[in-house]
């Protein structure tokens, strides 16, 4: 009876009222998105609609305070203007000739066979732009949270992660110098976190070493997308999710990039779109995959086939979250 009484008291107190703006959904940070992707990977394919791809960028209640802290960290010193201007979608270069993925894959294979190319490295250096959203009456409009992140692993299995808020007054300028003495901030950045982690080992993706042949790498990506089983990826959307997850943990070498380019060349619905200049000023070839309400643009280095960027953009408006067609949901730019 005491248990029932406690429940009755909680119900009467209504600790989480549905009309309280503090408990509305918020957008995911990168680490929370990774965890949610792992959960969504187990959902039946019929339930993975584009709305899920949009709402996977939405936080739970426990992330609200973190969202507020991040937004405050992105306010320019001495100014009331948030340093979080939403990026515009990347624009294809006028008159550029789209290059078929088969050609990129062949070029990447030749570069890998020539030797002396980059080698696979555990850890990443990436710049991300993620749209933070809220829903409900009086909710703030979407705001973009730009970050730069360097993750490095040591031989003993320990790792470090440095996350810095980037300053859009200097677009494209890295705020982390990743040298032989480890990553350090150089300019325009506020440190959001600087952490060290104890040794950690694993025999399953993403901890295990990615293979460098197309067949084996495809199976590795499938296990990334469907943790705990060997279910094949069901479509190009899942493939792009798995590629992004791979790039969050590893910096592919020439052989891995060549294998990945071959896998992408065989994907359905990933169409060559032309040349683009990415948000770090690099030239890349864009490949577009569209589903209802969402356009995903993958950017490859035309010489090596390396994945250098991925942009998700909504193509239809969503009044619930204040989204307009053409808003960039997220963008990642990977550095070597």
174-178: average pLDDT: 58
By the 8 A CB rule, do 182 and 160 touch?
Answer: yes
Total structural domains in the chain? 1
**Does residue 139 register a pLDDT over 80?**
no
What is the reported pLDDT for 11? 53
Residue 163 falls inside a structural domain: no
For residue range 255-314, what is the model confidence (pLDDT) as tens digits?
A: 999 999 999 999 999 999 999 999 888 999 999 999 999 999 999 999 999 999 999 999
Residue 41 falls inside a structural domain: yes
Residue 196 falls inside a structural domain: no
Cα–Cα distance for residue pair 148/81, rounded to 1 Å: 20
**Lowest-pLDDT range, 49-63, 145-159, 167-181, 313-327?**
49-63
> Which band of pLDDT confidence, cut at 50, 70 and 90, is reported for residue 173?
low
Cα–Cα distance for residue pair 90/286, rounded to 1 Å: 10
**Does residue 128 register a pLDDT over 70?**
yes
Q: Which residues of 212-251 are buried (b: 16+ CB within 10 A; e: fewer)?
A: bebeebbbbbbbbbbeeeeeebeebbbbbbbbbbbbbbbb
**Does residue 250 register a pLDDT over 60?**
yes
**Does residue 54 register a pLDDT over 70?**
no
Pairing state between β 307-314 and 328-335: antiparallel
Give the mean pLDDT of the chain: 75
Residue 169 falls inside a structural domain: no
Residue 175 falls inside a structural domain: no
Residue 15 falls inside a structural domain: no
Sign of the alpha-carbon torsion through 44, 250, 290, 261: negative
Residue 257 falls inside a structural domain: yes
Structural domain for 36, as ranges: 21-121+130-136+203-335
**Does residue 195 register a pLDDT over 70?**
yes
Cα–Cα distance for residue pair 204/223, rounded to 1 Å: 8
By the 8 A CB rule, do 92 and 313 touch?
Answer: no
Share of the chain above pLDDT 70, in %: 64
Residue 295 falls inside a structural domain: yes
């Amino acid at each position: 009876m005491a248990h029932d009484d406690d429940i009755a008291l909680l119900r009467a107190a209504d600790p989480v009222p549905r009309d309280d703006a503090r408990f509305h959904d918020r957008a995911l940070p990168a680490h929370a998105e990774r965890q949610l992707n792992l959960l969504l990977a187990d959902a039946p394919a019929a339930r993975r609609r584009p709305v899920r791809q949009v709402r996977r960028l939405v936080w739970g209640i426990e992330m609200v305070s973190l969202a507020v802290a991040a937004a405050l960290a992105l306010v320019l010193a001495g100014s009331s203007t948030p340093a979080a201007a939403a990026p515009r979608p990347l624009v294809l270069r006028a008159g550029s000739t789209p290059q078929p993925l088969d050609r990129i894959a062949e070029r990447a294979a030749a570069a890998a066979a020539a030797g002396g190319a980059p080698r696979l490295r555990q850890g990443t250096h990436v710049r991300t732009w993620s749209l933070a959203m809220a829903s409900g009456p009086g909710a703030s409009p979407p705001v973009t949270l730009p970050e730069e992140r360097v993750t490095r692993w040591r031989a003993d299995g320990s790792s470090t992660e440095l996350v810095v808020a980037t300053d859009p007054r200097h677009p494209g300028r890295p705020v982390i110098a990743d040298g032989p003495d480890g990553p350090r901030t150089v300019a325009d950045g506020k440190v959001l976190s600087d952490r060290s982690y104890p040794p950690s080992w694993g025999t399953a993706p993403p901890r295990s070493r990615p293979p460098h042949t197309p067949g084996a790498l495809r199976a590795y990506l499938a296990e990334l997308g469907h943790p705990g089983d060997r279910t094949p990826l069901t479509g190009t959307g899942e493939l792009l999710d798995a590629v992004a997850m791979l790039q969050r943990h590893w910096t592919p070498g020439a052989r891995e990039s060549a294998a990945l380019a071959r896998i992408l060349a065989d994907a359905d619905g990933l169409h060559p779109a032309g040349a683009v200049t990415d948000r770090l000023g690099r030239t890349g070839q864009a490949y577009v995959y569209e589903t209802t309400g969402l356009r995903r643009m993958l950017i490859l280095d035309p010489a090596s086939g390396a994945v250098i960027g991925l942009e998700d953009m909504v193509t239809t408006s969503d009044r619930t979250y204040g989204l307009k067609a053409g808003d960039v949901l997220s963008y990642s730019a990977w550095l070597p």
